[in-house]
Amino acid sequence: MKNRVLGILVTVLIMVSLAGCGTQAKATDDEVVDGETIIVAEEDTENEAIIEEEEITETEVIEEPQEEATYTEYELFYMRDSLDMTDATEMDMNALSVDGNTYTLNKSINIYAPTVGALMSYTKPNIEVYVNSCNEEWYCLRFDVDGDEKFVLAKADDFIAATGIEPKEEIAVTADDVKQVFTELVTKLEIEYELLDSPSGDMEYIEFSIPKDCENLEDWIGQMYISNEMSHYATYCIVLEDKDYGDGYLNFKFYYKNLKELPQ
């Protein structure tokens, strides 16, 4: 009896020792084998999820090959057979001011379609090009293609770098500039005249326009004056109109009266 009690006490001490080891098992099923309870541990689902994630491969994005651009060769440039609209941007051609000069392109530059600004081709190097108009961002070039005029755009930075010219400074013609140049012109022609500050009701007028950034003001005014035979009159008045059509021009009314006696 004494030995039996001692055996039970030893068994209890062993079970208490095992319970104090800090090891925990989460039971999912209890099985009884030969009268003893066996604890079945839950599978480590968290580790399985990590393994599954590692086994998943990312789907590769396969880019479709882009069709290579083809070009048609002309005398001064190469023309794409289809426009590249990637960086196309709508632009106002009326924002360009008249230039009218010829420049030498020392190297090839890209050229773009008017209005939409889409890449359309590139020039050959060491060629002469006529600039129809320009501003701080774009130059409008004119080419002769099989007897037809073709207008294209070049970025100002590219054009200036290829020609070596100085960037154009913003020039703003005023009504006072026009009056001053007119006075100098008729004085040089030794014509007697009177220039009024405002028109009178008995004066007739013609309308003329001048580029806002005109660099040869005397030529523009001289052409207007001579072509309309204004030298036949003695009294004038020049008035700047408020109308601005957004085309880069200043619009004037040139009033006149007092027809001179013409020599017989």
Q: How far apart are CA 106 and CA 56, in angstroms?
A: 57
pLDDT of res. 6: 44
Token pair for residue 64? 């479709």
Q: Please, how many CA atoms are within 13 Å of residue 218, restricted to the half-sphere of its CB?
A: 8
pLDDT of res. 197: 93
Q: How far apart are CA 238 and CA 217, in angstroms?
A: 14
Question: 6 to each of 1, 2, 36, 154, 178, how far by Cα in Å?
Answer: 9, 6, 21, 106, 128
pLDDT of res. 263: 53
pLDDT of res. 94: 78
pLDDT of res. 82: 78
pTM of this prediction?
0.45
pLDDT of res. 135: 85
Contact 141, 154 (CB under 8 A): yes
Q: What is the pLDDT along the chain (264 residues), one digit of tens a residue?
A: 444 544 444 444 444 444 444 434 344 445 544 555 555 555 555 555 554 555 544 445 444 455 677 888 888 988 888 777 777 777 788 778 888 889 999 999 999 988 888 888 899 999 999 998 888 889 999 998 888 888 999 999 999 999 998 876 666 788 899 999 999 998 988 888 999 999 999 999 999 999 888 888 999 998 898 888 888 899 999 999 987 777 778 899 999 999 987 555
Hey, how many other C-beta atoms are within 10 angstroms of the C-beta on 231?
13
Residues in the chain: 264
Q: Specify the 3-state DSSP secondary structure of 40.
A: strand
